[in-house]
Chains A and B, each alone.
Chain A
Amino acid sequence: MGEKLLVSPSPHVRAKGKTSLIMLLVIVALLPSCVYGVLNFGMHALLILVLSTGSAGAAELVYELVMKKKITVTDGSAAVTGLLIGMNMPPMIAWWIPVIGSVFAIVVVKQLFGGLGRNFMNPALAARCFLVLAFSAQMTAFTTGTGVLSQVTEPTVTAEAAAEADAGANETAGTDADSTATAWTEAQTEAAAKTDADSAATAETEEKGKAAADAKTDADSAATAETEEKGKAAAAAKTDADSAATAETEEKGKAAAVAKTDADSTATAETEETADAASGATAETEAAAPKTETRDSGKLDAVSTATPLKYLKKGQSFDLKALFLGNTPGTIGETSALLLLIGGIFLMLLGVIDWRIPVFYIGSFGVLVLITAAARGYDAPLQYMLQELFAGGLMMGAFFMATDYVSSPYTKSGRILFALIIGVMTWLYRMFGMYKEGVSNAIILANCLTPLIDRLTRPVAFGIRKKEASS
């Protein structure tokens, strides 16, 4: 025995698994959705994903070099954050926005608070919220894809739309709570056309004010709105060449196109709409809207459109299958509920994420939505609930965002409480709030409550209660 023996404290064996392995597994679970996103939305989406992931890693590396800290980029946590940020971007967003988001997430939310293990909020979600605040127009400009699988499905409009009229109006202002900013954003994006009618129209168009579409009492306006909404050339077929032109111009930058049809009524309605957005009272205008438009799918590339949530917000129904599979507009990685579900189950089976969070979150949200839908008298409450589940960022949030170890509680009962809080908050946001998307805000709120939840659910050590009882 010539060699020296190694001495270290017990235990001398360890379970397999490291931090970096966990991060790798999360990335693997996210890949199917990413691939689908790229196939659906085109190569620009791939660029976004690569840029966001890369800049997150780079930001961490640079920060650690400058602050002379241990280089931890290889543990993969920055990559996960970056990828999640990328998956939260609308497909045609300018490249520098996710980069800013990644840098913000890594430097401000994660590193400034102490690095890995110390972020008080999910960095990807915090970045998403920051970007929605900072660049609301770009972050809410959704388009259909230019990718291989690009097929946009039409929504089936139902009678509930009437009941949900104001919700539709409200959502116009819903991107950010500050209506001033909304107006400002609108003004910004329609920099091109400055005529009154145009401005109003364009602003309308810019926003997701598809509610405006419904508000129009004449067919033209309706056609125009639809075109804006789903960017379906079909609207053109519906009325006349003007509408088609509208759709085209829509896509190009939304200038006077709308004005071409019926500038007055459109403008009036839309200005009204914008005003309504600010004040929130649109009952009459909305109610007058025709409710049974049908749309054909168009073959335009990258037409601006709305996400399914807008329809749901108005009580309209959206094709369930499309929602589940992912043939809908939305952010790059959030559309396919199926693939996200598969990824989530994969992680749960491997023990990477605790099943309690997604199960209790989706469960509580589902139950609450079901009850609300039934109470509101929707046609098919169960179907509506499923649509709410699969639309927007809920699947992504439930499996990949809320389950972030650092910002979620570490006790089992704590996680259940956490998930229930998010479920209730998301329900409140989606059903009663101005926002169309409540998931990010709900999760962030719950993240802030995590230390409190941890304290509340701290276990009583083995044998302690008994002693107190007997002493």
Chain B
Amino acid sequence: MSKRFWKGIFEENPVLVLMLGLCPALGTTAAVKPALAMGIATAVVLIAVELVMTLLSHAVPEKAFMVVSVLLTAVLTAIAEYVMAQNFPELHEELGIYLPLMAISSVILSRVSAVSKSGSLAEALGDSLGMGIGFVLALAAVSSVRELLGAGTWFGLQVMPEGFQPVAAFSMAPGAFFTVAFLAAAMNVKARRKASETDREGE
């Protein structure tokens, strides 16, 4: 279980390695606050769905599994949206369409179909926690870069010095792509180095 957990954070980070959940990763990360909100919301729903589906894996027939998962995700997304709208209306406003999109989030659906079917609660717990936290971290990383370079702030607080000329591109779509790409590349480099190290150790 712990292996799954750590995998979800680094080795198989959903956004930067598995390339899942790119939609929210690109669309909500112009600033750190909405990104964290999105990430946490997704993580919570992911954990809930994955655990429930694992429990149901014996009861639900194979063919109906995905349908049930989607239904469950949609219901939980609706609840999450409602909760957000009630308690954090500005965030809800800012996230716009991305929150309802969580119903078909590739992170949730692919992890469910990968892990829940095995029926092991421990696995599901480790995976969902790991993936969830990994997702939040990834979104935090991307949004930090984008907000720092694109607006000079972090979580709304001015960080960069006065004379700093923000690079508008980073607040916009192209910047999102660049940031995700470079972070994914960095993860890749790290992974390769690690792989060659373990190879050498094996010799």
A residues contacting B by CB (< 8 A) are 108, 130, 133-136, 176, 178, 181, 184-185, 188
- Pick the contact of B167 from A108, A135, A176, A178 — CB < 8 Å? A135
- Given A133-B169, A178-B172, A181-B171, 11 new contacts (CB under 8 A): A133-B174, A134-B167, A134-B169, A134-B175, A135-B167, A135-B168, A136-B168, A184-B168, A184-B171, A185-B168, A188-B166
Report B26-66 CB contacts with A as 1/0, cut-off 8 Å. 00000000000000000000000000000000000000000
* Closest A residue by C-beta to B167: A134
* Closest B residue by C-beta to A96: B165
Cα distance A188–B168 in the bound complex, in angstroms: 10
- Pick the contact of B174 from A130, A135, A185, A188 — CB < 8 Å? A130
Chain B interface size, as a band, is: 10 to 19
Cα distance A184–B168 in the bound complex, in angstroms: 9
Cα distance A133–B168 in the bound complex, in angstroms: 7
Chain A's interface: helix, strand, loop or mixed, by majority? Answer: helix
- How distant is B43 from chain A, measured CB to nearest CB, in Å? 29
Cα distance A134–B166 in the bound complex, in angstroms: 8
Cα distance A178–B170 in the bound complex, in angstroms: 13
Cα distance A193–B90 in the bound complex, in angstroms: 29
Report B157-197 CB contacts with A as 1/0, cut-off 8 Å. 00000000111111110110010000000000000000000
B residues contacting A by CB (< 8 A) are 165-172, 174-175, 178
Closest 6 CB pairs of A and B: A134-B169, A133-B169, A134-B167, A181-B168, A134-B168, A133-B174
Cα distance A427–B169 in the bound complex, in angstroms: 26
| Chain A residues, CB < 8 A from B170 | 134
Interface centre among B165, B168, B175, B178 (most CB of A within 10 A): B168
- How distant is B187 from chain A, measured CB to nearest CB, in Å? 16
- How distant is A217 from chain B, measured CB to nearest CB, in Å? 33
Cα distance A135–B164 in the bound complex, in angstroms: 12
- How distant is A76 from chain B, measured CB to nearest CB, in Å? 28
Cα distance A108–B165 in the bound complex, in angstroms: 21
Cα distance A188–B162 in the bound complex, in angstroms: 12
* Closest A residue by C-beta to B178: A108
| Chain B residues, CB < 8 A from A181 | 168, 171-172
* Closest B residue by C-beta to A184: B168
| Chain A residues, CB < 8 A from B167 | 134-135
| Chain A residues, CB < 8 A from B169 | 130, 133-134
| Chain A residues, CB < 8 A from B165 | 135
Cα distance A134–B168 in the bound complex, in angstroms: 5
Cα distance A188–B170 in the bound complex, in angstroms: 15
Cα distance A134–B150 in the bound complex, in angstroms: 9
Cα distance A134–B149 in the bound complex, in angstroms: 10
Interface centre among A130, A134, A136, A188 (most CB of B within 10 A): A134
* Closest B residue by C-beta to A188: B166
Cα distance A101–B193 in the bound complex, in angstroms: 30
- How distant is A113 from chain B, measured CB to nearest CB, in Å? 12
- How distant is A393 from chain B, measured CB to nearest CB, in Å? 20
* Closest A residue by C-beta to B170: A134
- How distant is B184 from chain A, measured CB to nearest CB, in Å? 13
| Chain A residues, CB < 8 A from B168 | 133-136, 176, 181, 184-185
| Chain B residues, CB < 8 A from A133 | 168-169, 172, 174
- How distant is B191 from chain A, measured CB to nearest CB, in Å? 17
Cα distance A152–B126 in the bound complex, in angstroms: 70
* Closest B residue by C-beta to A134: B169
Cα distance A181–B169 in the bound complex, in angstroms: 9
Cα distance A135–B169 in the bound complex, in angstroms: 8
Cα distance A136–B175 in the bound complex, in angstroms: 14
